[in-house]
Structure 1
Amino acid sequence: MKAIGTPQIPETLEKAADWQALAQRALDGERLSVEEGLAVLEADNDEVMPLLQAVFRVRKHFYGKKVKLNMIINAKSGLCPEDCGYCAQSVVSSAPIAKYPLLEKATLLAGAREAMARQAGTYCIVASGKGPTDKELDQVIEAVKEIRATMPLKICACLGLLKDDQAERLAEAGVHRYNHNLNTSRANYPSITTTHTYDQRVESVEKVKRYGLSPCSGVIIGMGETNREIVEMAYALRELEADSIPINFLNAIPGTPLEQAGRTPAMKALKVLALFRLICPSKEIRVAGGREVNLRTLQPLGLYAANSLFVGDYLTTKGQDAAADYQMIEDLGFEIEQCAL
């Protein structure tokens, strides 16, 4: 007898694992059902290679064999009043990290030059805190204007919750994209953060869209969410029409409330990437934070679903050496996408 609450896996998938049919439906613009999404996440590990073969059709249709590189600069570290359980910069974290106010313009410009050297097409200026002060926004805007005038880089800003006039000013300064992750599901949100709400994050993404900024919003997998909630996250980002979707896998940092959380198994991580490609087929799917410690030796396979990477370090954790990323891309027969403004 089937247990109460067991997902009803579509018979065609249960019998034949017809991932190619799901890929075709994604290409045709059809919306997959929640049950089909669950079928992807709960597939046997033996199905991962056929699944990736199918989702690669979707990825290749929209992005060919190109890989977009993004680089982060931690423009303001620590000093954050938020209580996000995953973050080393949170007020509830005891992790021994560097803490400093917003970097000066010269340092932000140097970071942009480093992004160019690493072949990144997008430079991500990220600052801790609930939201920027007007003085901090002035500093960021001053740097952005000079970067835009001297370098062929797209700029993504991630500064927390914005006021309407702040979003407008960033757009006028030439910021292309604004990141504000949903991070987890609506139901799981209170167990991760209490100092702001899920709805505030949704509204933040909607706000930047209103001012012409490309919305970037993603998730962190491995924070106690269920498979159904992962599917719900993917649909939430589809509904928000996020152009860029970073898929982070929790890198449990000692000193944070989630320090005891286990890693996401590599095969599960691949299924998650496949799911997001099928539900958000035309969007930039980025293998983001934690890929090195969760996907481990299977990192190259992630690019059969995703088309984007962070190159270099993250905010408070180390990333894979850039040379290893370049080699991985080359060995796959893929190529780095050049920035086209």
Structure 2
Amino acid sequence: MQLAELGERASRGESITREEALAVLTTTDDQLLDVVAAASKPRFAFFGNRVRVNFLVNLKSGLCPEDCFYCSQRLGSGAEILKYSWLPPEEAVASAKAGIAAGAQRVCLVASGTGPSNREVGKIREITEAIKADHPGVEICACAGFLKDGQAEALAESGVDAYNHNLNTASSHYANICTTHTYDDRVDTVDRARDSGLSPCSGFIAGMGETPEQLVDLAFALRELNADSIPVNFLLPFDGTPLKGTNNLTAHDCLRILAMVRLVNPRSEVRIAAGRELHLRSMQVLGLHIANSIFLGDYLTSEGQPGKADLDMIADAGMVLEGMKDAEPVKPTDVTIRRRGAGTAALPNT
């Protein structure tokens, strides 16, 4: 397998084959830089040296009736997280604006639970309109679980730009990580979002016992769903969940997974999401040569590295925030990114 040739093909918008994708995941450590170099070709061909910064606002924390084995907010979770039902709109808007001030181009409004009621869809609409009144160019991505008839259309009409609903793992592995809903249920919501005109944002969590073949299945499933944005999470094995103590990934594994996803989906936004600080550690900056998007600061129920460290990392990589001029460097900021619901989870035992 010629890795450089895979990168050249992907930089023309052509997906690699399933066999080639599996071969990328099984490369040796001495080939790692060649893997990163191959995946960097489509990354720079389609996104240049720009990084999209995303910011999470946790609208509703815990209290979820689903039993997803990886989730600190799951039914019966013993993880030490804040639990609350819906932030006041003014608090959610203030949190979003703090992220925007630090450079975020997309705000992700996230609510735990099986799916939103129509009243909760209305709350997302209210918050979206308030954010866009002052920041009309900022994208809003909603994430509130399974969508029912008419809800995707209502969100699109309110100014929401995208909807996130992750597949999380391969169809053949899904029953091993959740029993209260199915993989097909998740696909249905991604389809509803896309068909309503919302940009489909869908990804997965690596490190939950899936095989390399199942990771390849996921990458191609996301391609078939036309996912515009693909968040790649690496398992945070929270205390108090069934996957407590699970740590099967190395930093090299994570880079290979990111590269495989990029080569299969060369034109999609690939985001390094939860777990990058734990699993990639000092190699996070290499991930920016594959992925073109990160979250700024904290996640839903766990701390990320400080927002200033994220912006410094982007600057050190010689990259610029999306929306800035190429010649304009990322300026480190002293803004502190913390919000209700984050920074309260017990650190995973790894």
Normalising TM by the smaller chain, what interval? over 0.9
Report SS of the residue matched to 2:239.
coil
Q: Does 1:159 align with 2:183?
A: no
Of 67, 90, 101, the match for 1:83 = 67
- Tell me whether 1:31 sits opposite 2:15 in the alignment: yes
Correspondence for 1:244 = 229
Of 195, 203, 209, 1:224 maps to 209
Deviates more, 1:329-338 or 1:217-226: 329-338
Q: Deviations over 1:166-219 (max 9, x none)?
A: 111100000000000000000110010111110010010010111100000001
TM normalised by structure 2 equals 0.91
Question: Which segment is superposed worse, 184-193 or 26-35?
Answer: 26-35
Q: Secondary structure at the match of 2:150?
A: helix
Tell whether the 8 Å contact from 2:11 to 2:46 is kept in structure 1 after alignment. Answer: no
Q: 1:255 and 2:240 equivalent?
A: yes
Q: Deviations over 1:216-270 (max 9, x none)?
A: 0001000000000001100000000000000000011000110121141000100
Matched, 1:136 2:120: yes
Q: Which residue in the other structure is 2:337 paired with?
A: none
Correspondence for 2:272 among 276, 287, 293: 287
Structural mapping, 1:155-304, within 5 Å: 155-304=140-289
Per-residue deviation at 1:97?
0.9
Q: How far apart, in 2, do the equivalents of 1:179 and 1:67 lie?
A: 19
For 1:332, the equivalent position in structure 2 comes to 317
Tell me the distance in 2 between the aligned counterparts of 1:274 and 1:78.
33
How many equivalent residue pairs?
A: 324
Aligned amino acid, residue 157 of structure 1: A
SS at match of 1:70: strand
- Give the TM-score of the pair, scaled to structure 1: 0.93
8 A Cα contact 1:78 1:89, kept in partner: yes
Query: Structure 1 regions of 5+ residues with no counterpart?
Result: 1-12
CA contact under 8 A between 2:167 and 2:186: conserved in structure 1? yes
Which segments of 5 or more consecutive residues in structure 2 lack a partner in the other structure? 326-350
Aligned-partner SS, 2:233: strand
The answer to whether residue 19 in structure 2 is matched with residue 21 in structure 1 is: no
- Work out whether 1:66 is the aligned partner of 2:27: no
* Structure 1 residue 55: Cα displacement: 1.4
Residue equivalent to 1:121: 105
Equivalent position SS for 1:125: strand
- Tell me the distance in 2 between the aligned counterparts of 1:108 and 1:327: 26
In 2, the alpha carbon distance for the partners of 1:33 and 1:335 equals: 32
- 2:342 maps to which residue? none
Q: Is the 8 A contact 1:263 1:294 kept in 2?
A: no
CA distance in 2, matches of 1:205, 1:103: 25
Query: Post-superposition shift, 1:27?
Result: 2.5
Amino acid at match of 1:187: S
The CA deviation at 1:28 is 3.2
Alpha-carbon distance in 1 for matches of 2:47, 2:12: 16
| 1:96 lines up with 2:80 in the alignment | yes
Deviation at 1:327, TM superposition (A): 1.0
Measure how far apart 1:31 and its partner are: 3.3
- Measured after TM superposition, the shift of residue 339 of structure 1 is 8.2
Aligned residue number for residue 47 of structure 1: 31
Q: AA paired with 1:246?
A: P
Determine the C-alpha separation between the residues in 1 that align with 2:324 and 2:91: 22
Instruction: State whether residues 15 and 265 of structure 2, in contact with CA within 8 Å, keep that contact through their aligned partners in structure 1.
Output: no
